[in-house]
């Protein structure tokens, strides 16, 4: 099928775009309304199947998250939070992850988009699914972290694992994809690959090159730790080299790509020098493998640049190139004068590239060496299929795994829940 003719579903709900974390909080969900308006103004929706996501139910969220945590999120309000200080602390809620009006609905909607996208991919109805409101990669089983409450990525991955023997998760947010890595650290059914800034106590502090997974998951977690100032050339080179090898060795049935836009130049929290083109070329590269693809958002703290980035990447997935002049639309005058109303990231002073050639060569060699340790395309044994607790009612869906399974009834030896009980952090 020609790449531009792939069926692409796109999820958006205006209720997410009007959510508001707190004054002075860097996370602004309004960037999602701006992205959607830009998508509309470039008339990209005409080539997409646009859906309003279904709200996930609490029981779907507990496929990964702890019940007491989900229950607390469902009940807590800005007015009652002061009566529950102990639990607020226990679940890491407060400053970075504030309680705001409509928080639980916000979580249910962005998660619903990611799970719905995974379901459409599983059914073969969509080749690509896009949910820019998803990608909240820091959330943990029993706690919020880094502006993330519910880990929609882990939940969407669990959905994909019902139909696909192997899933690759890729993360180009400037922060390490710690919540997703941690959830699948012990399994070879999910390979997580994160490209991120590492060192100088940069959040969340994990994602060293030596963190490669454990037990059955050894070599199935890949970390590419980078320093300040990464530019397009070096980032795309290390991304393409790594992902080419991952795809060759692992041959996943589906891919999740988290496109955090805080790796762009000029970001409020980030420190890389990527342009829209460099960032989008990672998306184009993953699309080129013709494997079902779930594309998610993530970080990104200059609203106009986030909207530019994700509208541009929506076009990339459609095989379209956007005019560099942003069309006039509701947010045109207020937000896009920062780069003369052009589709580009304006960077006042580039950050010095602290990634030496030798450093990048060493990192690349180490990553490739680890990947060459993989057994090629491990097939699914029944004991590696997620236990019943992961499987919501599938009345209308038949559980199909793409490869022949064996050992039916074997006890699950390792799974993310058991791993969490060991409390790695």
Active-site residue set: 138
Query: Three-class SS of residue 76?
Result: coil
Residue from 262, 267, 313, 384 in contact with Co ion (CB under 5 A): 262
Instruction: Evaluate whether 89 touches 278 at the Cβ level (below 8 Å).
Output: no
- With respect to Co ion, which residue has the nearer C-beta, 8 or 283? 283
DSSP 53-68: PPPPPHHHHTTTS-HH
Q: How far is the CB of 298 from Co ion (least distance, A)?
A: 6
Q: Residues 190-229 vs Co ion: string with x where CB under 5 A? A: ----------------------------------------
- With respect to Co ion, which residue has the nearer C-beta, 117 or 299? 299
Q: How far is CA 228 from CA 9, 232, 345, in A?
A: 35, 13, 17
With CB under 5 A, what is the number of residues at the site for Co ion? 5
- With respect to Co ion, which residue has the nearer C-beta, 127 or 173? 173
- With respect to Co ion, which residue has the nearer C-beta, 148 or 374? 148
Q: How many residues does the chain have?
A: 425
Residue from 112, 299, 386, 416 in contact with Co ion (CB under 5 A): 299
Q: How far is the CB of 59 from Co ion (least distance, A)?
A: 29
- With respect to Co ion, which residue has the nearer C-beta, 53 or 260? 260
Instruction: Evaluate whether 82 touches 41 at the Cβ level (below 8 Å).
Output: no
- Cα–Cα dist 151/129, whole Å: 17
Any residues with CB less than 8 A from the CB of 410 and at least 6 apart, and which? Answer: 381, 382, 383
- Cα–Cα dist 335/338, whole Å: 7
Q: How far is the CB of 300 from Co ion (least distance, A)?
A: 7
- With respect to Co ion, which residue has the nearer C-beta, 268 or 375? 268
Q: How far is the CB of 196 from Co ion (least distance, A)?
A: 8
* CB atoms inside a 10 Å sphere around CB 389: 12
- With respect to Co ion, which residue has the nearer C-beta, 258 or 355? 258
Instruction: Evaluate whether 135 touches 164 at the Cβ level (below 8 Å).
Output: no
Q: Residues 359-388 vs Co ion: string with x where CB under 5 A? A: ------------------------------
- Kindly report the CA angle at 254 between 402 and 181, in degrees rounded to 5? 115
- Cα–Cα dist 78/98, whole Å: 9
Both structure tokens of 401: 């795994």
Both structure tokens of 376: 């090629």
Q: How far is the CB of 310 from Co ion (least distance, A)?
A: 14
* CB atoms inside a 10 Å sphere around CB 245: 18
Q: Which residue is nearest to Co ion (CB)?
A: 299
Instruction: Evaluate whether 364 touches 241 at the Cβ level (below 8 Å).
Output: yes
- Residue 134 touching Co ion (CB under 5 A): no
Q: How far is the CB of 263 from Co ion (least distance, A)?
A: 8
Q: Residues 171-190 vs Co ion: string with x where CB under 5 A? A: --x-x---------------
- Cα–Cα dist 329/347, whole Å: 24
Q: How far is the CB of 147 from Co ion (least distance, A)?
A: 8
Judged by the rule CB under 5 A, the positions of this chain that interact with Co ion are: 173, 175, 260, 262, 299
């Amino acid at each position: 099928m020609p790449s531009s003719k792939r069926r692409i579903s796109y999820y958006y709900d205006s209720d997410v775009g009007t959510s508001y974390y707190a004054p002075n909080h860097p996370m602004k969900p309004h960037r999602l309304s701006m992205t959607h308006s830009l998508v509309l103004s470039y008339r990209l929706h005409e080539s997409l199947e646009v859906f309003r996501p279904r709200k996930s139910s609490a029981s779907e969220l507990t496929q990964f998250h702890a019940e007491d945590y989900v229950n607390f999120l469902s009940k807590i309000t800005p007015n009652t939070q002061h009566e529950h200080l102990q639990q607020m602390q226990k679940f890491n809620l407060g400053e970075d992850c504030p309680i705001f009006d409509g928080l639980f609905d916000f979580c249910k909607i962005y998660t619903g988009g990611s799970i719905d996208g995974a379901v459409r991919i599983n059914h073969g109805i969509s080749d690509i699914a896009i949910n820019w409101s998803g990608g909240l990669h820091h959330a943990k089983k029993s706690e919020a972290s880094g502006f993330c409450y519910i880990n929609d990525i882990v939940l969407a991955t669990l959905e994909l694992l019902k139909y696909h023997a192997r899933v690759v998760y890729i993360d180009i947010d400037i922060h390490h994809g710690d919540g997703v890595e941690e959830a699948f650290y012990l399994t070879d059914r999910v390979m997580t690959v994160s490209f991120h800034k590492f060192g100088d106590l940069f959040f969340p502090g994990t994602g060293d090159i030596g963190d490669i997974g454990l037990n059955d998951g050894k070599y199935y977690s890949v970390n590419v730790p980078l320093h300040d100032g990464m530019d397009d050339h070096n980032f795309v080179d290390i991304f393409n080299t790594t992902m080419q090898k991952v795809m060759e060795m692992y041959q996943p049935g589906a891919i999740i790509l988290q496109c955090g836009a805080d790796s762009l130049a000029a970001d409020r929290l980030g420190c890389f020098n990527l342009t829209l083109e460099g960032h989008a070329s990672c998306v184009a590269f993953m699309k080129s493998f013709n494997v079902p693809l779930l594309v998610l958002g993530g970080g990104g703290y200059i609203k106009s640049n986030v909207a530019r980035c994700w509208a541009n990447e929506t076009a990339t997935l459609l095989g379209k190139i956007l005019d560099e002049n942003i069309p006039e639309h509701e947010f045109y005058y207020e937000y896009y004068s920062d780069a003369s109303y052009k589709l580009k990231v304006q960077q006042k002073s580039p950050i010095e590239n602290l990634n030496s050639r030798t450093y990048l060569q060493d990192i690349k060699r180490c990553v490739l060496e680890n990947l060459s340790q993989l057994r090629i395309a491990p097939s699914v044994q029944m004991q590696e299929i997620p236990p019943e607790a992961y499987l919501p009612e599938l009345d209308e869906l038949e559980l199909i795994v793409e490869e022949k399974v064996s050992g039916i009834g074997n006890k699950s030896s390792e799974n993310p829940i058991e791993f969490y009980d060991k409390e790695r952090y």
